[in-house]
Each structure stands twice: as structure tokens, then as C-alpha cells.
Amino acid sequence: MSTLFTRILNGEIPGRFVWREDDVSAFLTTGPLADGHTLVVPTEEVDRWTDASPDTLAKVMEVARRIGAVQVDVFGAARAGLIVAGYEINHLHVHVWPSRSMAEFNFATADQNPDPKVLDANAEKLRQGLRDAGYGEFVPD
């Protein structure tokens, strides 16, 4: 049985994609800690991040680094937050978001009912920032 993330990657469930490659994609979460909160997910279904191949883990982290750098710029944040939790969905994923303080590193504060229009606007803002940073080939329309 495929994971929720595989179903999103395959287009069975809609996702607000900001990055698409054959082996790694990124899309906004529906429970954001901050505007622009993104999940970076490998195409390969890997349950625990410690079970990922070095190449898969390196690729996920490189995409997360690129997205995080752009989030800092486009959302005016001090840093990019990053968490690898692995309990919500049994499919390796990295949370990346524009962070202003350590208080944001708490999933209990996530917005569980975000406005879809705000999510759409944040996705487009991040896509444009990624294009402007030279990553246009990976940014879906």
C-alpha cells in the first residue's frame, strides 16, 4: 500500500508543489508552523530517515537547503527551520520553514486549519523565489 506522500507525488491527492524532480519533490504542508512551511520528500518510500541511502538523504537535504535559503529571503525570516520527525507519515520527509524563533519548533502550534488561499499564495511566493534563485527547471507551474 502506498503512503499518503506517494499518493500526493502520483497526483492521486492534490499538493501545492514548489519543487519537482524524478527522485525528490517538495510541497507545502497542510499543517504549517509558518507561512511557506514545506515538506521535502523522496519519491522512494523510505520509512525511517536512518534507512535512506546516503545518496537519497543527501539529495533530500540539498533540496531542503535550497528551499530553506529561499524561504529566508522571500518570507523575511531570520533562519530556516528544519525537522526530521518521521512519526506522522511512514515516508521520509523533511520539514523546512522560515523561522523567527525556537518557539516555532513545536508541532503543537501548527495551524491545523489554514486558509487555502493563503497556502496558494505562499506556494506561489516560494515558487517565484525559487525561480528567481535560478532553480526554475525544478519549479512546477
Whether 93 sits among the annotated catalytic residues: the reply is yes
- Which is the catalytic residue, given 37, 91, 93, 95? 93
Cβ within 8 Å of residue 98, ≥6 positions away: 34, 35, 36, 71, 72, 74, 75, 76, 77, 79, 80, 81
CB atoms near residue 5 (< 10 Å): 23
Just list the catalytic residues: 93
